[in-house]
A and B are shown apart, each in its own frame.
Chain A
Amino acid sequence: MVLIAILIGCILGAIIGTNAPIISYTYSSYLAIAIIAALDSVFGGISSVIKKNFDLKIFISGFFGNAILAILLTILGQKLNVDIYLAAIVVFVWRMFTNLGIIRRYYVEKWTDKLKAIKKNRNKTNENNENVS
Chain B
Amino acid sequence: MTNKKIISIVLGLMCFALTLGICIQIKTVKESNSTVSQNYEENNLRAEVLKYKERYDNKIKEIENIDKELEAQISQATEKNSDLEDAQNQIQQGNKIIGTTEVKGPGVIITLSDSKLDPKTVLNPSDLLLHDIDVLSVINELKNTGAEAISINDQRVVTTTSIKCGGAIININGERVGAPFTIKAIGLPENLANLDRPQGYLDMLREKYQIGAELKKSNDITIPKYSGVINFKYAKTVDK
A contact set with B: CB distance below 8 Å: 1-2, 4-6, 8-10, 12-14, 16-18, 20, 22-26, 28-29, 31-32, 34-35, 38-39, 42, 56, 60, 63
Contact = CB atoms under 8 A, between A and B. Distances in A.
B123 interface: no
Contact of A35 (B22, B27, B32, B54): B22
A29 B5 CA distance: 34
Interface residues of B, number: 31
A9 B7 contact: no
A14 B8 contact: no
B4 A32 contact: no
A13 B19 contact: yes
A88 to B, nearest CB: 16
B6 A56 contact: yes
A16 B18 CA distance: 12
Contacts of B20: 13-14, 16-17, 20
B28 A22 contact: yes
B13 interface: yes
A1 B5 contact: yes
A24 to B, nearest CB: 6
Contact of A17 (B8, B12, B19, B47): B19
A39 B11 contact: no
Contacts of B6: 56
Contacts of B12: 5-6, 8-9
- Secondary structure at the A interface, as helix, strand, loop or mixed, is helix
A10 B15 contact: yes
A10 B9 contact: no
Contacts of B239: none
B13 to A, nearest CB: 6
Interface of B: 4-25, 27-29, 31-32, 47, 50-51, 54
Given A6-B12, A24-B54, 18 more contacts: A2-B11, A5-B11, A5-B15, A6-B8, A8-B12, A9-B16, A13-B15, A13-B22, A14-B20, A17-B20, A17-B21, A17-B22, A22-B27, A28-B32, A31-B21, A31-B28, A35-B21, A39-B18
B54 A26 contact: yes
A39 B18 CA distance: 8
A56 B24 contact: no
Nearest to B55: A26
Contact of A2 (B4, B22, B31, B47): B4
A34 B16 CA distance: 14
Contact of A63 (B5, B14, B29, B51): B14
A4 B8 CA distance: 8
Contacts of B18: 13, 35, 38-39, 42
Contact of A22 (B17, B22, B31, B50): B31
A4 B15 CA distance: 11
Nearest to A6: B15
